[in-house]
Amino acid sequence: MDMGTPMPMPVGSGLMLVDPSQFDLTNDTQAADFLGQMLDDSILQFDAQNYSRYFWYGIVGFIGVAASWFQLPPLGTLILLGGYFGFILALEYSNNDVPGAQYWTSLGVRAGWLAVAQVPLLILLAGKNNLIGLATGLSYERLNILHRWSSRGTLLMAVLHVGYQNAGWNQYGISSLEWSTDTCPPTGMGAFALLLWLNVSTLAPFRNFGYEFFVFQHLLTFFGFIIAIMLHLPSTALETRTYIWIPIGLYLFDRLVRTALLGWNNSRRMSTTVVPIDGEVTKICVSGSRVRKWGPGSFVLLSIPHYGIGQSHPATIASTPESHSGDLVFLLKARNSFTKKLLSSASASDFTLVTSSGDKNAHAKGESHRAFIDGPYGGTQGDFAAFDTVLLVAGSTGITYVLSILLDLATRASKQKLPLRRLELVWAVKRSLQSTWFSEEIEGAFTSLQAAGIEANLRIFVTGNDAFRDSAHSSGLSGDDGINLPEYTQEPRQEAQKSAEISCATVVTGRPAMKAIVPDLALQAQGELGVAVCGPLGLSTAVRNTVAVSMVKRPIYLHVEGFGW
């Protein structure tokens, strides 16, 4: 017999204690009343809303301090991520021990708020024209790792939200009742599934499947997630939708700015020359662009409609505004449909290639088509002209990033006195012929550096076919199939010889012994040593580890530019 509905008892702060012992859960009516009181989260929503605000107080405060006071140390990313996860977990469990049947509900509601509160941060860290980048001076690709990990933080809170809510229902055997009478669980699981895929699809094997496919499915999934989360949010928590409308506005702002810049950059017709070179690589020269200012290490999203309408590919700018008559020069390894079409088309035609000196009489196989440029973005953070000694390390087409630094230093050295006293360039290639990719540019840069009284040396390490086994993926942003040099510490297999391709270079057969190269330069440097590396994972790791050991005795600045996007 139904004895009426027991009333919850006050426990302070406006919260009412829901006592399951006062309900007969075998009675459908009382079970429904009990579930209704469990789901009465009006006070819990208010409390959780406050903690979602605390989340943003912390984020804004950290950005302000970071932008004004310091740069992250080499382990700064790990420290930052550890602090981030510690912060959101502290917000989840701080002062959140509600007695009675709403114990799990309280934990679940707050986790849900903290998950939704992070959605604007995902867009802020993903947009190419974002406020965090403007405040900190970091370009969007530098913020990308934080974008991925904040998404994982969102997923963590979503897992806790789902787990705690279901734990509360299962404890009293009313889970099926909740699922059959409320639309929140099914819509929530839909949003959770999309969020889970957003995170899984950013793992390296999925990202490396193809740039265009990744971007398309990622945007499509995110739009679906936004719709699903709007359907999921209950009527008692309409304030949470603020955290959904904000990222929508941020995304539209980013698209508006990008569209305006894209329209300006491409208002003048640009032509693109594509030329095949050794190693299944295409050398691309874009002429007539309005883009006249970019820094070393910058990249663009390059679109050539002839090879795919609506497709764009990230590509590092190997040239500088002063070189190649102001044209933009790139190298792209033939990997996916876009880059394979580039190479195939270039191999089938003849065209005139503009060299670094602007000579348009150099004839080479190639083809010309109209191009569109989105960017430039990124670039090096440190000024390598400020160091006493600079070591530039490149693996295969990682030379595009390194070359832009080299050309910039050479141009500046020809105009003014620089603190730079010595420059060493180490380039690992599969075959010696690949050193001709930028032979004229390198020789010209070395001539300018030496004329300015700067010692400049180039060592080319020819690794051979057996060394190309690196599984680390790369896109056209920085390079190609990595050179797998699992032990970059081995000594060369033979003595250095003068290069037949580049007059200022010496060639060594074997792998660059980074454990010897970096410490030697650090000891010989009269001031600080600056190191920049762009190449496959094995090379970058070897340089990073060697620098970490050498920094004990000598200050070293390290910039690692990874293959990828």
Residues of the chain with CATH 3.40.50.80: 384-562
d(CA 255, CA 331): 27
Q: What is the pLDDT of residue 354?
A: 40
Q: What is the pLDDT of residue 470?
A: 38
Cα angle value 311/315/316 (rounded, 5°): 165
- H or E segment and range at residue 374: strand 372-378
Judge contact between 317 and 286, C-beta under 8 A.
no
Cβ neighbourhood burial of 71 (10 Å; 0-12, 13-18, 19+): exposed
Closest CA to 242 of 55, 112, 58, 116: 116
**Secondary structure class of 89 (helix, strand, coil):** helix
Judge contact between 380 and 296, C-beta under 8 A.
yes
Q: What is the pLDDT of residue 153?
A: 94
The predicted model scores a pTM of 0.69
Which amino acid, 386?
A
Residues of the chain with CATH 2.40.30: 271-378
How many Cα neighbours within 13 Å face the side chain of 434?
25
Neighbours of 105 (CB within 10 A): 23
Per-residue pLDDT band at 88 (split at 50, 70, 90): very high
Higher pLDDT, 118 or 499: 118
Residue 63 has pLDDT above 80, yes or no: no
Closest CA to 284 of 337, 322, 321, 334: 334
Q: What is the pLDDT of residue 478?
A: 40
CATH of 384-562, one of 3.30.750.24, 3.40.50.80, 3.50.50.60, 3.40.1390.10: 3.40.50.80
Closest CA to 507 of 495, 490, 522: 495
Neighbours of 305 (CB within 10 A): 12
Between the alpha carbon of residue 80 and those of residues 67, 138, 139, 532, the distances in Å are 14, 15, 17, 23
Higher pLDDT, 499 or 221: 221
Distance of CA 218 to the CA centre of its chain: 14
> Would you identify the CATH topology of the domain 271-378?
Elongation Factor Tu (Ef-tu); domain 3 (2.40.30)
DSSP annotation of 26: T
How many Cα neighbours within 13 Å face the side chain of 32?
7
| Exposure string over 262-299, b if 16+ CB within 10 A, otherwise e | beebbeeebebbbbbbebbbbbbbbbebebeebbbbbb
Q: What is the pLDDT of residue 228?
A: 94
Judge contact between 172 and 34, C-beta under 8 A.
yes
DSSP annotation of 529: E
Per-residue pLDDT band at 485 (split at 50, 70, 90): very low
β-partners of residue 389 are 422, 529
Q: What is the pLDDT of residue 258?
A: 82
**Non-local CB neighbours of 23 within 8 Å, separated by 6+ positions:** 6, 30, 31, 33, 34
Given the structure tokens 């876009």, which residue do they identify? 338
**Secondary structure class of 137 (helix, strand, coil):** coil
Mean pLDDT value across residues 71-90: 77
Residues 158-204 pLDDT 10s: 999 999 988 888 887 888 888 888 888 899 999 999 999 999 988 87
By DSSP bridging, strand 281-287 and strand 271-277 are: antiparallel
d(CA 390, CA 70): 23
Percent of the chain past pLDDT 70, that is, above it, reads: 73
Structure tokens at 30: 């009382």
Residues 459-475 pLDDT 10s: 889 887 533 333 333 33
